[in-house]
Structure 1
Amino acid sequence: MMRETLVPLASGTIFGAGLTIGGMTDPARVRGFLDLFGDWDPTLAFVMGGAVLVMALAWTMQRKMLRPFFGDGFALPDRSDITPRLIGGSALFGIGWAIAGLCPGPSFAALAIAPASAAIFVTAMLGGMLLVRLVEGQG
């Protein structure tokens, strides 16, 4: 029970701290990255580059492991997961990210820094998720 609670809590805390330190909880910084022909802010490129390096190391380590440290087996994606629904959802995600300057991870981290504006986004995001579940008959 302790492992099922502490590992996700620790990894979520590290992830949130990284987003905050990297400035990804600041919507203006994210929109600045997306403003390629204006006052472009490269900060997000460095955050993404750091994430790619960490993930490359993780994939290298995973190939040599029989099972994860804190799990029974790996749940790795495959190409069959790419569907029109996934592509449409990704497009909506990108549009929302560009408009708001926030996405799910940073929005929850931003609740600790700018609770009023982040709460509006998080409420709208959760409302959209609920609406999809209701429309698809899953909720």
Structure 2
Amino acid sequence: MKLLMSLVAGLVFGLGLIVSGMANPSKVLGFLDLAGNWDPSLAFVMGGALLVGSLAFPFANKWQRSLLGEAIHLPTATKIDRRLVLGGLTFGVGWGLAGYCPGPALVSLAQGGAKPLLFFVAMIAGMLVFELLERISVNRKRKPHAI
């Protein structure tokens, strides 16, 4: 049942990305082009997501388990630090250059074409580089410094 519900949720999410235009990089780039021919329609999509989130999070904070019995893991970080800012900037630059973010990239990848495939490969490479740098950083912190 959990697998079926996960599949249904993924299909509904993907369909929502297609219907809203979020899987169309030219629509996204039009939204991000504030100085040119700006397309404000995605602001309504984002506003709808904020509305749903603002209604759902107060309930999620009170629940220990989802409706399907899975544990709910909400973010615990509350500080704006260098990693958050650099991650947001990296995400924003990638989104602005390509017109894709991870979810819409997967939807576009399923629709076919070279551009989403190239973005997907670059996204996976970026994730692998991040993991490698994280492991190097953790290992440096664990090793005692020689005197």
Larger Rg over CA atoms: 2
Letter in 1 for 2:27: R
Judge conservation of contact 2:63–2:72 (CA < 8 Å) in 1: no
Q: How does 1:100-115 map to 2 (within 5 A)?
A: 100-115=98-113
Judge conservation of contact 2:28–2:100 (CA < 8 Å) in 1: yes
Identity of aligned residues (%): 46
Q: Deviations over 1:55-75 (max 9, x none)?
A: 122124435656321234432
Letter in 2 for 1:121: F
Aligned length: 136
Distance in 2, matches of 1:71 and 1:115, equals 38
Q: Deviations over 1:20-77 (max 9, x none)?
A: 1111111111111111121000121011011112212212443565632123443222
Distance in 2, matches of 1:46 and 1:15, equals 16
Structure 1 partner of 2:25: 27
Structure 1 partner of 2:93: 95
Letter in 2 for 1:126: I
Instruction: Select between 67-76 and 38-47 the one with higher mean Cα deviation.
Output: 67-76
Structure 1 partner of 2:76: 78
- Compute the TM-score of the two structures, normalised by the length of structure 1: 0.85
Distance in 1, matches of 2:129 and 2:65, equals 37
Structure 1 partner of 2:41: 43
Question: Cα RMSD over matched residues?
Answer: 2.1
Closer, same or farther: CA 81–74 of 1 in aligned 2, 3 Å = farther
Letter in 1 for 2:67: F
Q: Structure 2 unaligned segments of length 5 or more: list them.
A: 137-147
Distance in 1, matches of 2:120 and 2:92, equals 16
Q: How far 1:134 moved relative to its partner?
A: 2.0
Q: Structure 1 unaligned segments of length 5 or more: list them.
A: none
Higher RCO, Cα 8 Å, sep 6+: 1
- Compute the TM-score of the two structures, normalised by the length of structure 2: 0.80
